[in-house]
Structure 1
Amino acid sequence: MNFPNRTPGDELADLKVRYARLDLLYQVGNVIHSTLDPQEALQLIIDQAVRVMRASSGSVVLINPTTNFLEIHASMGLPPNAAALKLRVGEGITGWVAIKGKTVRSGDVTQDPRYIQLRQNVRSELAVPMLVNGEIRGVINVDSDRNNAFSEGDQELLEALALSASRVIQNTWLYEQLRLKARLFEMLASVGQTINSALNLDDALHVITREACGMMQAKMCSLLMLQESGEWLELRASHGAGEVYMKSPKLSMNESLLGTVVRRRKPIQVENVQTSSRYQRAEIARQEGLVALLSVPLIFANECIGTLSIYTGRPYKFSNEEVRILSALAELSAIAIEKARLYERIVDVEEQLRQNEKLSALGLLAAEVAHEIRNPLTVMKMLYHSLDLKFPAGDPRNKDAEIIGQKMELLNKIVEQILDFARTTEPTFAEVHLNELIEELGLLVRHKLRNQNVQFIHHLDSDLPAVMADATHLEQAFLNLILNAAQAMPNGGKLTITTRAIEGGGKTLQVAVDFKDTGEGMTEEQRRRAFSSVLSTTKAKGTGLGLAIVGRVIETHHGELKLKSAPGRGTTISVILPLA
């Protein structure tokens, strides 16, 4: 296109101006691309914009997607209190640009009814929109103390700068999201290890809420669990909660927002629980200063057992990534909860086994007492009948003799009943794989041994043949040997169980199970009486009732016990059983 009034000199001047602007944009681009920190990038952008436009002040204003307010994120030349100003989209020149997506170049702001004063002496303003993927995300403002300070060329330059800045902001935001994602995943791995280290259920629940609160940078975190009835959610643990929240009643599954999380098994978030009609505890939230809520279900084995919820202290919209991270944490937490529950059940089983051990010892003691009583009682009966006590009629001694005979018969009957009851504990033989029995016992006692700092080691012969035995009785005997070894190592140590075949004539004749500890060892007297009758033992624990039961069980299995021990050098007890 030809311009008849333009001279070559004018065209050269225009080229110089355009070159200078392109050179400025290039320099500005180099500066603002020098960082990946979003806040630093915004500050560099406004610093360069004010410098290039020769302005007096300027600001980068972004739209908060949660509140929809315009907030100043970086500024230059504005008073300190300006950062606290929040404008609605459409309010002021900046708000008009944000809603219309068009540039405003005002030569005299005192004549513009849209203008809102942030700094005295401002006369001119140039505001251009910042677009990211076609969406208005903010506004760049520059101000001057001179009227008509900004030209059309300045407008083109600032629009080009805003376009470049938008790309930088998009890249820095993407980088920040990736950095946040990486940080959250690193924390998730670390938190997962911390959560799973807790064995007690209450401890595990409190660790979960504490770590979730820290990882998500929340004001408060709570964990509610579904009661057995399935009708109520009960607060079981929290971190950062005040007294009011801690005393809040349980929630109905069918009528509460968190109950919906359990029923639908999907996360729910609320930007402000204080104003939400769906949230039943708005008054408690106001007293506690709780605002935004994200709640995710705790699911284990396809069963929802509760909710894990975090609260912020300000309106907030959680990103999809944050929802996924908290959901992943909830999955780990559900596993940790079930692990703690299982541990508690194992502890209960261990306690039942210890009670069974005591009952077995009492049963054995009763049988031996009855056996020892029956012999002298039989002699007494024989002597009584041989005396053939007969007194004259009317002599009261006739009645006494009759009563003595009746009471001896009653004692004999009681003894026989006790012995009959003891006989019901005779073993029922079936094929038993000792390696499997020992591995199962190891699972039951591993926590007890770990708590006593006892290292549990087993060397099991993979080719060990099965034996004909009563698995329950052998398990009781082996448990007694393990517990006895643990008692002999009060300060910790090592317990090694070895299974091996004993051969003779080229074939396996017997199998042996060795229990070796590094404990206190036994004296000669203790070794001599280790597996003797309950009535003749000298100790109630360690080498007392438990080993007496072991002796009885192995005897009924036609097996053999070997003991090797010395004070301070540990003990090795070998159980030798014949093959079928």
Structure 2
Amino acid sequence: MNNAAARQIADLEARLLVLEQQLARRDDLLATADARLNVITAACAALLISRDVDTIAHLVVREALQLLPGTNSALLYMIDQDGQQLQLIASSTPPITSSVSNRPVGSGPAGRAFLSPRAMLLNGPELELILDELSPEQDAEMSAFLPHWPPSTALIAPLRSATRRLGAILLCGGTNAHLYRPHDLPFVQVLADLTAIAIEEATERARSQSLQADLVRTRSLHAEAQARLDCRQAPAATSAKLAAVGELAASVAHEINNPLYAARNSLYLLEQDIATDAPLRPFLDIAQQELGRIARIITRMRDFYRPSRAELGPTDVNTLLRETIELVQTHLRHNNIQVVSQLSPELPLLNAQADQLRQVFLNIILNACDAMPNGGALTVDTRPVLASAENSATLQASIADTGVGIAPEHLHHLFEPFYTTKASGTGLGLAISAHIVTQHGGRIEVDSCVGQGSIFTILLPVESPISSVEK
């Protein structure tokens, strides 16, 4: 074999060796890329089920270490609300402490990453120039915070959504043996893009939930305010309605009473001729009772148009409550109801119509007893309310029970005439009470919870407006 042929063979062998080495490097790159794609896939799956920014940030810095072996530290920054400072929210190394200050946008690795359009590789002099942008205090912070600072190599990438900049990722390598390479950039960019999408979705989700909670809270506050307003306006509206009904009742009372009395007298004559044990006698008794009930309703409604002319005078509400409780004492004992009296000795006297207020207390206490068929506690409380710039001096009397409570759908109708949930009720007791209290310049408030009981609070001005009318 001549020298020329030998040289050709040697040249071919050298070229084959180079090709083999290139193929080996390509195989290594493919294997590395495959492993990194697996990391990206796993990270993507984990990000899909992450619901808050903090969880996403800590997941990303952990996955970054798996994505790029040789990485000593992975840091994730988020922009603050003013868009001026970057805040470190996740680190792959030690827990973040308050000693790590925020970074200004555009300065240092994090600030440069935030403004960068895509991932960047920093090695050698370029990295040193960017690290020099840190103040001595910031450099000392990072030296104390990270075990390998300053880094010999770094990868930075912006976190950007379709509409705004969110933050930045900073990956730090520790030794020259593990310098980052250009082929690392696409993987870092993909991780940054996935992170930005996940953070944007989590932020929007949190904002949506916050807005939904605010809406629910606003609706609840509006409903409560409307309920309080309705409760305050209900007695006055009911009073006007009762007065109108009373006027109508008074105008037709004569026409109703004449045939009513004729019917009752006829039934009375029939009673004289029908034996008490006759089969039809129970029906006769029912008719007489119901006609009597009609007569009482007409009388009570007529009284609203022609109110009682009882004289005003100094009235002790504590005394009225004691007398009312004594009046129903037998009823209370029979129903196993315990009375708790918390009557203030400092209660001022009212200039009021005592009999009418006694009727109010009696109606409410009897309703409380009906609400406790199996026994319970009846709490009666009085207290003075001092005058303020908005309100004159007021007296407060509360009657609370531990009964069945009032369903929300009934609360707004409590003071409407003829509205009742009782099988034998007329629906006039609370309506009359509200009318009387309104005439005295006060109001009735109700607070009730189904299964726990109700509280009726009567607020009366110490100087009743009736007195000025009477004068």
TM-score (normalizing by structure 1): 0.39
Higher-RCO chain (CA-CA 8 Å, sequence separation at least 6): 2
TM-score (normalizing by structure 2): 0.47
More helix by share: 2
